[in-house]
Amino acid sequence: MTTYSHDPSHGQPVIAIIGGGVSGAAVAFHLLRGQRLRPGQLFIFEPRERLGAGLAYDSQDPAHRINVPAAKMSLLPDDIEHFQRWLKERDALAGDETAVAANGNLFPRRALFGRYINSMLQPYIDDGSVTHVADRATDVRRSGERWVIRGEGGRRVEADLLIIATSHPSPLPPQVLSRALDGHPRFIADPTRPDVLAAIRADDRVLVVGNGLTSADVIASLDLRGHKGPVTAISRHGLRSRGHAAAKQEPFGDFVSRPSRTALELLRRVRATIREAEGQGWSWHAVIDQVRAQGQDLWRAMPLQERRRVVRHLRPFWDVHRFRVAPQVEAVSEGAIRSGRLEVLAASVEAVTTSGGAIDCTLRLGRSAGSVDRQFDAVVVTTGPGHRGILETQGWIGALAEAGYLAIDATRLGLACNTASQALGADGALAPSLFISGPLARGTFGELMGLPEVVEHAVFVAGQVAAALADHEKRRQGRTEIGISAA
């Protein structure tokens, strides 16, 4: 067993981050940008080979592209075009003829963004400031004033400060599907796992459950693999993730001078602002961009009950307008709809049976339109990460909740935390040395899913950790002085 622990003679506090996707890597990067740490002070548990990629940017599927233009996806919020320059300096888009959209925006393959984040952290890995513990954390406990983290492979780290940056758990497939289809060779419950679509044959009739960005990715990946069979994509409202504006626009409107106090008021204001924008020749994109930019202030101004209403009633509409499909990926779906190969329905799965390899589904159609029976050969679940089940997704997260250190947040979007991003237990008890970074903190911070917000939040968490380190140092010096005077 490898034990990583700080050298007590240095007396330096140890920081552990669980999850080395963009959130974990960005907290480490911004912490180290602000101050020097000794080797052995900062550990990141991440089972993936490279730090910085995470679920989103570890994909090697050439059909998967970033869905926000490269010019807005920077690790440096004060240098927003940094990634775009990084791409150009390396000629990283050579051979990818379709990376440039019609309006000039760059939408490179997602794996490139993972490489970019990794390259930014690499110097700190090389000089020992960051230790990548290439292991999945499976056991986390409080021991005295410290956190003891054990990995699946036997790694053990004792830390004074712990940051949870595990973000996206596996999807939670609807039970009606998993009950009937678990073990079926073409039931793809988690399409983010590498190469799972290889099980689908060229002429298979495919049901895609979910109509967001993952659904668009799956349709583009199937197309690239030469799939020719019919695809039915369903979601409760039949809404599909929308594309980007044809031309670049500045955010439009003001939602914070007099923030909406209710979900309904917010909806009315957004609609009125869209009418106003359209009157001036802009599109809804500019308004939604402004809601997004001001989203965290808006969220904070709303009482809890209204936040819950936003999640329950407005979220499906928000998600399809806010998360936009890359133009290259959108073109595949649009082409498939035009050719009649892709059908998009407002429906949910009511019943499922199998006969031989075939999958018989009863689909309940939306707007009380009754139900239809359809036969498929494959079912792909694209409902996205199962954040609302976060406490059940990993044993150690559940155990920390049981011990009173973690709780699901009141809107069920992730983990409860305060406005300093420190974790809160079910009874509101604060764990000052336990931080949440990334989308799991969005119940408190509001819009915190896309890369720009994730990076800004990581900068904030890095600042909080730096302050906790300074505090630790003050206490240590206090103890040393007492030690000296007592000697």
- Contacts to ligand FAD by CB under 6 A: 18-24, 45-48, 54-56, 66-68, 73, 136-137, 165-168, 192, 385, 394, 438-439, 449-451, 454
Q: Between residues 14 and 22, which has the closer beta carbon with respect to ligand FAD?
A: 22
Taking the complex as a whole, the smallest distance from the CB of residue 17 to ligand FAD amounts, in Å, to 9
Q: Between residues 309 and 457, which has the closer beta carbon with respect to ligand FAD?
A: 457
Residue keyed to tokens 């990334």: 438
Q: Between residues 263 and 451, which has the closer beta carbon with respect to ligand FAD?
A: 451
Q: Between residues 411 and 437, which has the closer beta carbon with respect to ligand FAD?
A: 437
Q: Between residues 327 and 385, which has the closer beta carbon with respect to ligand FAD?
A: 385
Alpha-helix runs per DSSP H in 127-262: 175-181, 213-224
Q: What is the DSSP pairing of strand 187-188 with strand 161-164?
A: unpaired
Question: Which structure tokens are listed for 81?
Answer: 């075009």
Question: Rounded to a whole number, what is the largest CA-CA distance in the chain?
Answer: 85
222: exposed, middle or buried (C-beta count within 10 Å: 0-12, 13-18, 19+)?
buried
Taking the complex as a whole, the smallest distance from the CB of residue 384 to ligand FAD amounts, in Å, to 7
Sign of CA dihedral 450, 452, 457, 459: positive
Taking the complex as a whole, the smallest distance from the CB of residue 468 to ligand FAD amounts, in Å, to 20
Q: Between residues 6 and 292, which has the closer beta carbon with respect to ligand FAD?
A: 292
Question: Which structure tokens are listed for 150?
Answer: 């054990």
Taking the complex as a whole, the smallest distance from the CB of residue 350 to ligand FAD amounts, in Å, to 28
Taking the complex as a whole, the smallest distance from the CB of residue 294 to ligand FAD amounts, in Å, to 17
Residue 45 forms beta bridges with which residues?
A: 18, 133
Taking the complex as a whole, the smallest distance from the CB of residue 376 to ligand FAD amounts, in Å, to 23
Residue 262: Cβ within 10 Å count: 14
Q: Do the beta carbons of residue 305 and residue 212 sit within 8 Å?
A: no
Residue keyed to tokens 């379709």: 98
Q: Do the beta carbons of residue 253 and residue 421 sit within 8 Å?
A: no
Output DSSP code: residue 72: G
Distance CA 463, CA 420 (A): 10
Residue 235 forms beta bridges with which residues?
A: 346
What is the CB-side half-sphere exposure of residue 35 using CA atoms within 13 A?
14
Q: Between residues 22 and 379, which has the closer beta carbon with respect to ligand FAD?
A: 22
Q: Do the beta carbons of residue 115 and residue 9 sit within 8 Å?
A: no
Taking the complex as a whole, the smallest distance from the CB of residue 205 to ligand FAD amounts, in Å, to 25
Q: Between residues 67 and 273, which has the closer beta carbon with respect to ligand FAD?
A: 67
Q: Between residues 361 and 390, which has the closer beta carbon with respect to ligand FAD?
A: 390
Taking the complex as a whole, the smallest distance from the CB of residue 449 to ligand FAD amounts, in Å, to 5
Taking the complex as a whole, the smallest distance from the CB of residue 207 to ligand FAD amounts, in Å, to 20
Distance CA 470, CA 337 (A): 57
Q: Do the beta carbons of residue 66 and residue 107 sit within 8 Å?
A: yes
Nearby residues of 275 by Cβ (< 8 Å), 6 or more positions away: none
